[in-house]
Amino acid sequence: MTTRRRLLQLAAPLALALVAWCLGFAWFVHLIHRPYEPPPRADGIVALTGGADRIQTALRLLEEGRAARLLVSGAGTGVDLADLAHLSGLHAAPLVGRVTLGHAATSTRGNALETAAWVGRYDIHSLIVVTAFYHMPRALTELHRVLAGVALYPLPVRPPGLTGRDGRTLALRLEVDEFTKFLVARSGFSMFSPGLATPPARIP
């Protein structure tokens, strides 16, 4: 077998893999940019941290009465409700007793495990999921895996700074990175990551 033929035999699968990746990425971009229907009222709301806009959106939904309870999953250990309410332009007092700050999650899989423990504690059967638009497919994948029988209503938010030439470049980088992580989650390999800093049973 000639060297050229060997190279062609190696190049063909790589080319097919590249085409498959590009087609998958195009589907992923279409998925994350499609419009979502406003979620109905639910038993609970979960905000997956990673941007202040996610928490602000979730707190406003709670204040509007779209759900009875809110979990902020993956909140920093030094964060408290008063700070979050102030950043959102809300009063903390009416939210006390309705907001749980989860400090255990260290990944999206951890968010799902933390949410599952909280859902079980409060007997929640429907959940509004608040996270960034590019993160939503992976978040739903992990949540569906641990929340059998719980209706999930996605509410994606678009972080500021993703418009204009620089913003679009940043958005593309985020989307490429997130598509790779989504593939890992869909394949089930994310289950090998620890995901939690503390056991989910400690979630209040």
Domain assignment present for 30: no
Answer whether residue 3 is part of any domain: no
Cα(73)–Cα(99) distance, rounded to whole angstroms? 11
Cα 56 to the chain's mean position, in Å?
A: 15
The pLDDT tens digits for 23-56 are 999 999 999 999 888 889 999 999 998 877 899 9
**Helices 108-122, 164-187: crossing angle, 10 deg rounding:** 70
Question: 143: domain range?
Answer: 40-202
Give residue 142's pLDDT: 96
24 assigned to some structural domain: no
- What does the pLDDT look like over 94-137, one tens digit per residue? 888 999 999 889 899 999 999 999 999 999 999 999 999 999 99
* Number of domain units in the chain: 1
- Give domain status of residue 180, yes or no: yes
Residue 10 included in any domain: no
Report the CATH number at residue 59.
3.40.50.620
In a domain, 4, yes or no: no
